[in-house]
Amino acid sequence: MKIGCPKEIKPQEFRVGLTPQAAREAVAHGHTVIVEAGAGSGAGFPDADYEAAGARIAATAEEVFAEAELIVKVKEPQAVERARLREGQVLFTYLHLAPDPDQTHDLLASGATCIAYETVTDAGGGLPLLAPMSEVAGKLAPQVGAWALQKANGGRGVLLGGVPGVRPARVAVIGGGVVGTHAARVAAGMGAEVTVLDRSLPRLRYLDDVFGRAFQTRYASAAATAELVEASDLVVGAVLIPGAAAPKLVSRAQLSAMKPGAVLVDVAIDQGGCFETSRATTHEDPIYEVDGIVHYCVANMPGAVARTSTQALGNATMPFLLALADKGWRQACADDPHLLNGLNVHAGKLTYAAVGMALGIDVLSPRLALKA
Ligand SMILES: NC(=O)c1ccc[n+]([C@@H]2O[C@H](COP(=O)([O-])OP(=O)(O)OC[C@H]3O[C@@H](n4cnc5c(N)ncnc54)[C@H](O)[C@@H]3O)[C@@H](O)[C@H]2O)c1
């Protein structure tokens, strides 16, 4: 199979869909790998690394799209990329079609087969191609929170870990899923006093069993959440209700009860945010202040560490990519129902029910698409 990896063209996207490591594995499986010149440079992978892995460097994206049977990317294809897709070609990337009718219509019109990272599942009910980015964002949250707590950034001037004789910062993490667990681990590792709030008792039991005394757990009643938000120097918002906007768990009125200069890091901002006063920010201008409380609400936190994020995403996508290349998409999806869950578009038909519901488009069952 000819696998193609173009350079990402969405603004501020420095990740790349294929690492040199994944390129090497694909070549070892007998596939041809074509990478656009400079595709990996934002993530610190020069063309020479791909060439050493056995890939060929193409001068332009047009060349990659024209030659490849399977295109691997990170972000949803932009309009100019969608125009290059063709019938029979397979696209493997993040798509997020439900809020994006323009992209959906273009992908349907292309005739291509499009498999979305974000809807591929695993045996535990998780989303294995979303989890790595949650792990990255979770581990970043205390790091950016510690920075925002510095006086020059508007924060309280509190050091997360304290020093001998001085109490460490108090950190509340609301939501103990993938983001929350990684945030709590890092904050605790930096020496902060950490409490994780969640509404799932099985999740709280798991955290207690695995992490013991590293951090505390509390059931996320409104009263417990308010009490901890008021007492904390740093609050990390990490809740998710799948398929829904994030619930607003801290109101504007509550800000005045918080410590002046405390910091809110709203990781759930990509789902609308879980603090009433959150609005999405960018890496160029990540923080703002409301009623004396510093807010950090960057919607694509993993972009700050493009190299780590690319490697983490590459590790997670590689087995699926190799299955698609080795067997062809039909057999790979027939053999693996979790990969089949990633099928969103095939030959002009939408194949993912939730997207069809959101956009009012008829859906072909993915099982039938396998035979189409
Ligand atoms: N900003 C970014 O760059 C970025 C990057 C990755 C993920 N995210 C977002 O972070 C959020 C969390 O993702 P995740 O992978 O950890 O999800 P997850 O499903 O693993 O965890 C979410 C947790 O929230 C808990 N929860 C739900 N409602 C709650 C409530 N009212 N109070 C307390 N806990 C509640 C759930 O029980 C679950 O344990 C999502 O919105 C995700 O899209 C953002």
Strands (E), the chain: 2-5, 32-36, 56-58, 70-72, 90-93, 113-116, 170-174, 193-198, 216-219, 234-237, 263-266, 287-290, 293-296, 343-346, 349-350
Question: Which pLDDT score is estimated for 245?
Answer: 80
- Report pTM: 0.92
| Catalytic residue list contains 29 | no
Whole-angstrom Cα distance, residue 263 to residue 234?
5
Question: If we measure between CA atoms, which residue out of 115, 137, 118 comes closest to residue 126?
Answer: 118
Whole-angstrom Cα distance, residue 240 to residue 130?
13
Question: Which pLDDT score is estimated for 76?
Answer: 95
Whole-angstrom Cα distance, residue 318 to residue 324?
10
Q: Is 197 in the pocket of ligand 1 (CB under 6 A)?
A: yes
The answer to whether 203 and 223 have CB atoms below 8 angstroms apart is no
Question: Which pLDDT score is estimated for 242?
Answer: 73
d(CA 148, ligand 1 centre) in Å: 21
Question: If we measure between CA atoms, which residue out of 342, 361, 350, 345 comes closest to residue 129?
Answer: 342
Question: Which pLDDT score is estimated for 353?
Answer: 94
Q: Is 203 in the pocket of ligand 1 (CB under 6 A)?
A: yes
Q: Residue 304 gets which letter from DSSP? A: G
Residue 310 backbone class (left: φ over 0; alpha: ψ -120 to 50; beta: rest): alpha
Question: Which pLDDT score is estimated for 243?
Answer: 65
- CA distances (Å), origin 67, targets 60, 89, 315: 11, 10, 25
Q: Residue 59 gets which letter from DSSP? A: S
User: What is the residue-level pLDDT of the chain in tens, covering all 372 positions?
Assistant: 999 999 999 988 999 999 999 999 999 999 999 999 999 999 999 999 999 999 999 999 999 999 999 999 999 999 999 999 999 999 999 998 988 999 999 999 999 999 999 999 999 989 999 999 999 999 999 999 999 999 999 999 999 999 999 999 999 999 999 999 999 999 999 999 999 999 999 999 999 999 999 999 999 999 999 999 999 999 999 999 876 788 999 999 999 999 999 999 999 998 889 999 999 999 999 999 999 999 999 999 999 999 999 999 999 999 999 999 999 999 999 999 999 999 999 999 999 999 999 899 999 999 999 998
Q: What is the pLDDT of residues 73-96, one digit of tens each?
A: 999 999 999 999 999 999 999 998
Whole-angstrom Cα distance, residue 316 to residue 179?
17
Given the residues 96, 208, 326, 338, select the one marked as catalytic.
96
Q: What count of residues does the chain have?
A: 372
The answer to whether 39 and 16 have CB atoms below 8 angstroms apart is yes
d(CA 176, ligand 1 centre) in Å: 7
Question: Which pLDDT score is estimated for 214?
Answer: 97
| Catalytic residue list contains 270 | yes
Whole-angstrom Cα distance, residue 340 to residue 359?
21
d(CA 137, ligand 1 centre) in Å: 11
- Closest ligand 1 atom to 176 CA: 39
Q: Is 174 in the pocket of ligand 1 (CB under 6 A)?
A: yes
Whole-angstrom Cα distance, residue 297 to residue 294?
10
Residue with tokens 């045996």: 123
Question: Which pLDDT score is estimated for 99?
Answer: 84
Given the residues 106, 198, 233, 270, select the one marked as catalytic.
270
- CA distances (Å), origin 336, targets 319, 323, 342: 11, 9, 10
Question: Which pLDDT score is estimated for 271?
Answer: 83
Strands (E), 225-286: 234-237, 263-266
| Phi, psi at 265, each rounded to 5° | -110, 110
Q: Is 83 in the pocket of ligand 1 (CB under 6 A)?
A: no
Assigned token pair, 38: 């400079």
d(CA 177, ligand 1 centre) in Å: 6
If one residue of 236, 239, 276 were mutated to test the ligand 1 pocket, choosing by the most ligand atoms within 8 A of its CB, it would be: 239
